[in-house]
Structure 1
Amino acid sequence: MKNTAYDVPLFRGLCEFSAMNPISFHVPGHKNGTVFPDFAKATFGPLLSIDFTELTGLDDLHAPTEIIKEAQTRAATFFHADETFFLVGGTTVGNLATILAMCRPGEKLIVQRNSHKSIANGLELAGATPIFLNPMFDSQTDRYIAPSIEGLAKALQAHPDAKGVVLTYPDYYGKTYALKELIDCAHAYQIPVLVDEAHGVHFALGDPFPPSALQLGADVVVQSAHKMAPAMTMASWLHIKSDFVTRDQIQYYLSMLQSSSPSYPLLASLDIARAFLASLTKQDLTRILQSAQQLKEDFAESTHWFVEETSDPLKITLTMKQGHSGYEVAALFEQEGIYPELASHKHILFIHGLGELMRLDEVKLALKRIGQRLKISSNHATIDISGLFQKSYAQLAYTYNEMRMLPTKRMRLEQSIDYIAAEAIIPYPPGIPLVLKGERITNRHAKLVEALIKKGATFQNQYIQTGILVFEEK
């Protein structure tokens, strides 16, 4: 990689300030790392030395004019955006701020149904009226994928007064779709498009990766720098490149939702991650892709799953055969000290990342042991997740304002059929609601949730095994 030591203005500024050995009469309370328990100092110490606050020369995230501004400008240049904001609350805070900026209470947003829970939370905070684009089901991968262009066209024809369209690209597994067609369809109505590109930050590197959402014409794109680039967890970017969206409202809501004391190590990691991406050469990418391909070939030797072809060569998805669940097989990998990104009823996702794997021999040996254990384990009934959506788009049973006023009760899942959910039912990961707050719970939902729990799925609902919160009247 090229030398990037002088291409990180924010990180460099923090290091230079730390090197002056300043005397701290300000927050944070660890006083540049001097007030910290000895047992943890060796681990945290280097980061604490640059964990500052908004001191003279260190700029302010909420009104940047110096090193933060310079770092954000360099990021915008690299990603070909009109403007880039640094986020310390993950892609979540970017999604929330953009949705709040897009619409006023009661106004409509057209939203891809299989989106991250942060999108649903943003809709509720905004008091929006969501029109949900239901995804198509791909029987080959046994997953719900993107909405159809026909579905979006129908929704726009029925709701031309929508204030925006919210899409997810790529999906968690690295699968892309004809995003430009959907963007062009929305733009024909002068409607802006927000894209949650949490898993596609590396698409900015170009071939052999798919085109980025910004390249395809999206107005606002939010990316998790920490997912595929070497930024710290919770560090993300928000990019604007639009004739339909202005920065002022988005910046206003970012200043409202983000901490008034943002983490400088997180911000610096965004500066470093951008420099890392910009420094990657063709030779670097060739070595990375060869490593990912070798890993795929090693996985493909098993008779217990097949390796799915995806748009993103760094995402490796195993689809189970012979009745084994993804949860079951993922547990075997974890027993071998190998931790995948997620498991589902039928899949396991491995993220290779932007580096060469150095322990492939260990992985190959673990694969042999896992294969031997699967040969002697009994097969299990598979779960059918198809048939959840009957229409191309749909609305909630109540508005968010109505839901605030309605009494609720907790019921056992099998008794909640035909009631309206007062909380979302969210398998995590991937964090995409199976049932949205405001959706009617069907027998199909109840049986699917019960089957997933039996298979080992985890849900972000504390009491889901004892009951689900519903509105009192059907």
Structure 2
Amino acid sequence: MRLDRALAHLERYPFHMPGHKRNPDFGLPGAEIDITEIDGYDDLHAPTGVLARLQADLAALYGAGASFLSVNGSTCCILATISALCKPGDEILIARNCHKAVYNACFLNRLQVHYVEAEFDPTTGFYTRVTQAALDEALAAHPEVVAVVVTSPTYEGYISRLHCSVPLVVDAAHGAHLGLAPWLPGRMEGDAVICSYHKTLPALTQTAGVQVYDSSLAPKIKRYMDMYETSSPSYVLMNSVAKMADLVADPAAFETLQAGLLKLYKLPLEHLRLIQADDPTKINISTLHCNIDGNALAHRLRACGIEPEMSDRIHVICMATVGDTAAGFDLLARALREIDCTLEPGDWPVAPLPLPPRHLQSWQVPAGEPLPYQQAVGRIACETVFAYPPGVPMIVPGEEITAAFVQAIQAAKNSGTVLHGTAGGGAERICCCVLTKE
């Protein structure tokens, strides 16, 4: 029996967890199917029934040898996969634009981190793809690397198609929809591919999974998924994945999305620019050549009844999925036309942020002290600072705080971009230390 059908037949009185007992008097949405691992409803950590079938359905959907479900988001999958592939002290190669969860996994496992950088497009201000040549060069420079981690697609929708002789982990958190309709780019390929179902498919927030294509890695990844994932996985969340997998198995589910995007990208705009990356469902609205920045554009879109995915100094991202309607696309098109008519030409300078010099691995860095950014130049960062979303670090522990980095922080802050620091510094201060020679 499928999970959603099994949950429709909860007929025994619940003298078990959770404490709400499915009592409707509490008014808790979803409580009617919120159960624990009771008889007949399987156990995600040792699945043999409805949850085993769900994971088999997901593996079939993505053409994988195995699929492991996460109700702790892609973060859990990233931590588990990197832990499975590496032991303390190992060398790992990661794309510099990886999500903070990748850096956290490297910190927890005390890995020796090397970087490969995505290409920077000065015409858009976006980091785009990691090239095969750049990956090959980085691996040749670091022959002891035991695994590679890249982000593909990126937040803006750029896709890197890569291969290498060591296990390749693809953080495709924003690519769960790829390959599910013939007009979409093909699914990501790697030894382990991590997808956030909730980001781009009709599943509830926190749902994700690891698709394992190298069967020899499956037992190791399963072991660490059991360690990092909650021992009380939500049946409400898992049920949403079951319904999602059934829905998107039919490519016709994506027809409204395709029609809406085709119409939107033909929109005549004079000042704003729609930048279509490899994944067309990421609608990048560039303000690079007009007299408004991305955060101001996001504010005006909200006034038109639209909440975008993110904004920064040079662009706004709107995400389109199978959940969108023709009316929603029309609302966005109308808002963009109305705003565009009020704008004038302008230019925002863009340049890649130089990679800060690194003096220590993140796990070697002491606690440090918080200082205003200007006073911290020349010191070593003791925390990660990032704009969220998307959660890509601007600096990580062990890297030198440079004047260029401080200027980038100031520009982001002035434009209204939200900055976070893992030690609480964020937009005003950074936790740092003086590098001492022993």
TM-score range, shorter chain: over 0.9
Structure 1: which 5+ runs fail to align? Answer: 1-7
Whether 2:7 is the aligned partner of 1:14: answer yes
Inter-partner Cα distance in structure 1 for 2:52 and 2:402: 50
Aligned to 1:341: 309
Specify whether residues 97 and 295 from structure 1 end up closer, same or farther in structure 2 by C-alpha distance, changes over 3 A only.
same
Q: Deviations over 1:389-442 (max 9, x none)?
A: 49xxx8x42134422xx2411111011112111111100111111112221111
Who is 1:194 aligned against?
Answer: 169
Deviations 1:86-110 (A, max 9, x none): 1001111100100111111110111
1:98 aligns with 2:81: yes
CA distance in 2, matches of 1:465, 1:367: 30
Letter in 2 for 1:415: Q
Which amino acid counterpart does residue 444 of structure 1 have in structure 2? A
Which of 16, 26, 38 lines up with 2:16 in the alignment? 26
Deviations 1:272-293 (A, max 9, x none): 1111110232xx4343211122
Structure with the higher fraction of residues in strand conformation: 2
TM-fit CA distance, 1:356: 3.2
What pairs with 1:272-283 in structure 2 (closer than 5 Å)?
272-281=243-252
SS at match of 2:6: helix
Contact 1:385 1:448 in 2 (8 A): no
State yes or no: 1:225 paired with 2:197.
yes
CA 205–192 in structure 1, closer or farther in 2 if over 3 Å, else same: same
Aligned: 1:153 with 2:136: yes
2:425 aligned residue: 463
Structure 2 matches for 1:328-367, cutoff 5 A?
328-354=296-322, 355-367=324-336
Provide the C-alpha distance between the structure 1 equivalents of 2:58 and 2:325, rounded to a whole number of angstroms.
25
Are 1:285 and 2:254 matched, yes or no?
A: yes
Instruction: State the shift of 1:127 in Å.
Output: 0.9
- The partner residue of 2:238 within 248, 267, 270 is 267
Distance change (3 Å), C-alpha of 1:410 and 1:387 = closer
Question: Hey, which of these two has a bigger chunk of helix by percent?
Answer: 1
**One of 250, 253, 264 as aligned partner of 1:295:** 264
Name the CA shift for 1:126/1:33 in 2 (closer, same or farther; >3 Å): farther
Distance 1:252 1:35 in 2: 40
Deviation of 1:383 after TM superposition, in Å, equals 4.3
Say whether the 8 Å CA contact 2:290–2:343 is kept in structure 1.
Answer: no
Is residue 454 from structure 1 mapped to residue 414 from structure 2 by the alignment? Answer: yes
Q: Secondary structure at the match of 2:316?
A: strand
Q: CA deviation at 1:387?
A: 4.7
Instruction: Give 2:226's match in structure 1, choosing from 243, 255, 268.
Output: 255
- 1:165/1:194 contact within 8 Å kept: yes
TM-score by length of 1: 0.86
Query: 1:146, CA displacement in angstroms?
Result: 2.3
Amino acid at match of 2:22: N
What TM-score do the two structures reach when normalised by structure 2?
0.93
For residue 337 of structure 1, report the CA deviation from its aligned partner. Answer: 1.6
Secondary structure at the residue paired with 1:267? Answer: helix
Given that residues 421 and 471 in structure 1 are in contact (C-alpha distance below 8 angstroms), is that contact kept between their aligned partners in structure 2? yes
Q: How does 1:403-414 map to 2 (within 5 A)?
A: 403=365, 406-414=366-374
1:311 paired to 2:278? yes
Q: Is 1:174 matched up with 2:157? A: yes
Letter in 2 for 1:273: M
Q: Which residue of 2 aligns with 1:70?
A: 53
Contact map agreement 1:407 1:472 (CA 8 A) in 2:
no
> For 2:392, what is the secondary structure of its paired residue?
coil
Aligned residue identity for 1:343 = S
Q: For residue 193 of structure 1, report the CA deviation from its aligned partner.
A: 0.4
Corresponding residue of 2:359: 397
Of 60, 64, 67 in structure 2, the residue corresponding to residue 84 of structure 1 is 67
Unaligned runs of 5+ in 2: none
Cα deviation, 1:312-348, whole Å, max 9, x if unaligned, reads 2222111112242111111110122201111122111
Check the 8 A contact 1:418/1:440 in 2, yes or no: yes
> What SS does structure 1 have at the residue aligned with 2:381?
coil
**Structure 1 residue 310 displacement after superposition:** 1.6
Displacement of 1:170 in angstroms is 0.8
Post-superposition offset of 1:371: 3.4
The question of whether the paired residues in 2 share the 8 Å contact of 1:345 and 1:383 is answered with no
Question: Contact 2:192–2:214 at 8 Å: present in 1 too?
Answer: yes
Structure 2 residue aligned with 1:384: 350
**Residue aligning to 1:210:** 185
Q: C-alpha distance in 1, partners of 2:332/2:61?
A: 35
- Which amino acid is 1:231 matched to? A
CA contact (8 A) 1:210 1:311 kept: yes
Amino acid at match of 1:328: A
Secondary structure (helix, strand or coil) at the match of 2:57 reads helix
Find the counterpart in structure 2 of residue 241 from structure 1.
213
- Separation (CA, whole Å) in 1 of partners of 2:199 and 2:169: 19
Report what 1:3 is aligned to. none
Q: Is the 8 A contact 1:289 1:313 kept in 2?
A: no
User: What's the CA shift for 1:359?
Assistant: 3.7
Q: Which amino acid aligns with 1:205?
A: L
Percent sequence identity over matched residues? 28
C-alpha distance in structure 2 between counterparts of 1:206 and 1:455, whole Å: 38
Query: How many matched pairs?
Result: 432
Structure 1 residues 115 and 369: alpha-carbon distance in aligned structure 2, compared to 1, 3 A threshold? same
- Report the 3-state secondary structure (helix = DSSP H, G, I; strand = E; otherwise coil) of the residue aligned with 1:111: strand
Contact 1:174 1:315 in 2 (8 A): yes
